[in-house]
Structure 1
Amino acid sequence: MIEELREYLAGRVGRVKDMRERAAAGPLLVRLGIAVFAALSMVLAFPHQVTRNLAGIVVAGVVALLPAAFPRGRMVGLAIFACAFGWLIGTFVYDQPLNVTRLIALSTALYLTHSLAALAAVLPYDAVVSPGVLVGWLLRAGGIVAVSAIVSVVLLAVVKVVVGPVFLVASLVGVVAAGALAWLIARRA
C-alpha cells in the first residue's frame, strides 16, 4: 500500500513537471484572468473590514487561485459561493448599503470568472491559442455583461417609479425580459 501511494505521488509530481515544461502562454493567460477576476470578486463581495486584514487577504488570495488552478472542478463554484456569502455578510452583518454600481461590478467579475473558467476547462495546458480567440471570448462575455447591466438598471428604474402592488408585475416583467434576452442570445449562438 505504501508503494502504491509512493508511485501515485511520483506520477503526480511527474505530471506537474511535464505540465510546467509544456505550458503555453494562452492557457496560462486565461488562468491568470480567472485569478484576477476571482480576486476582484472577493474584494467587491466582502466588506472592507474583512478584506483589510492580513488573514482576509490570504483567504481571498487562496480562494481566488483555486478556480485558476482547478477550472474543471468544483473550485469555481466554491469561489462564487464564497463571494455570495461575503456579499450577504457585508449586507446583513456589517450593514453595508446596497449599491447598484458595486453589485453590477461584482456580477461582472463573477461572470467573467465563470466564463474564463469554462474556457480554461477545455484548453489543454499546451494549446496554442490565437489572441483573436481570447479577445473574441472576452468581447462576447463583455457584451453579455453590458446588456445585462443595461437591462438591470432600466428595470430598477421602473421598479423605483412603480412601487406598491405593481411591484410584482414589474418583477415578473423583469423575469420575462431576462428570459427573452437569454433566448435571443442562445438563438444567435
Structure 2
Amino acid sequence: MSATLNAFLRSACEGREASVRVRDLFTAYTVFCDSKRLLPLTRANFGRRLTRHGYRPERDGAGHTWVSGIALRPLPGLPTVQSRPVLILPEGLIGSDIEALSIVVRELAAARKAVDDGAAADDELTDGTLDSAAGEYLSHAGYHRRHDFPPGQPSDSWPLEPEDWKPTKPMDDAVRGCVFGVAAVSYRLRAGERTEG
C-alpha cells in the first residue's frame, strides 16, 4: 500500500523550502490515487508513512499539522494547497551564525507582534526607508563616537522620525540594524522583487 505514497511523492511532490498542511496533502494524495485508480492509505497510515519517508509533521499554535520540505507540483486535477515558507539553514554556518540569526528572527517577530497590522505598516513606507534605517543602526553599532547621536537625535540621513531613533549599545544596535535589513528584504519580496542568484 505504501507504493501509492511512493508514486504520489515521486510524481506530484517536490522538495521545497516550504511546508504544507498534512490534511491538504492527504486530500491531494487521495485525488491522485483516484485519478490512477489506486487504493489510498488511510489518513492515520498516511501520516505514519510520511514520517517513515523523513517528513516529520509538526503542529502549529492554531492546531494545524504541517509537514516541511515538501510542496505540490501544479499538476492538472490536483487541488491547490496552502503552503508557507520554511527557513532551512544551509551547511557552512557556524554556531554563532545560527545564534545570531535566531536573535534577529526573535526580535523581528517581536516587532511584528507589537504592531497591530504587522508588515502592512512597512508597506506604507517609501522605497528605501527600511534599508536606510538598517544602515544607520549598523553604522552606529560600529561608530567610535556614539555619543554624537543619542536617542532622539539621529544623523541627518535617518529616514524615520527622530523619536524612532533609539540606540542603546553596539550589540543591540547591530541586531536592530539586521532586523530593519530583513524587514527591507521582506518588503522588496512583497513588492515582487527577486534575487538573481
TM-score, with length taken from structure 1 = 0.26
Structure with max Cα Rg: 2
Bigger relative CO (Cα 8 Å, ≥ 6 apart):
1
Structure whose residues are more often helix by fraction = 1
Structure whose residues are more often strand by fraction = 2
TM-score, with length taken from structure 2 = 0.26
